[in-house]
Structure 1
């Protein structure tokens, strides 16, 4: 399964930045305007907008404009895709570590006097 590899690449690139993770954390509590989202960050609005654009391009958020206010909302479907990929990876690695544990225990029993 490719898990929409281009989509996942964009999502993980977006999640790599602490500013973008903080924005997503705030949006987890509900929609917010760009100006409200930008308040806690010590950066110019054009720089902050680059973060918003990257989050939107990655599919993690949606924005819509009403009058002069642009509001952002979180896109839960993208997080479901990441969760699905992580669950698959977790199952794969748990299976590998279980086999390794079984190997070590079996080997230790065979080498015991």
Structure 2
């Protein structure tokens, strides 16, 4: 018995498995990184954005959504929670419902 109660063969198998998992994780990370780089390049070309941000250039490209600029810069925007996404439609629905009830009471 050698490493934490494992036999030598078990430990070698464990080490082999860890190396394989690390290689898979690194490959997946490299793929995601390449996909993001490709997306940034496509967005830069589509919206004619400079590769390097120039100070003061924000005023010139203020018509572009801030989320898109962050995405092109490589800063992933934080995902909104489902609750916050649903708040706007629910608020609109509640507002429409209350207006309908007001109209119904007037009739």
Q: TM-score range by the shorter chain?
A: 0.3 to 0.5
TM-score, length-normalised on structure 1? 0.33
Give the TM-score normalised by the residue count of structure 2. Answer: 0.34
| Structure with the larger helix share | 2
Greater fraction of residues in strand: 1
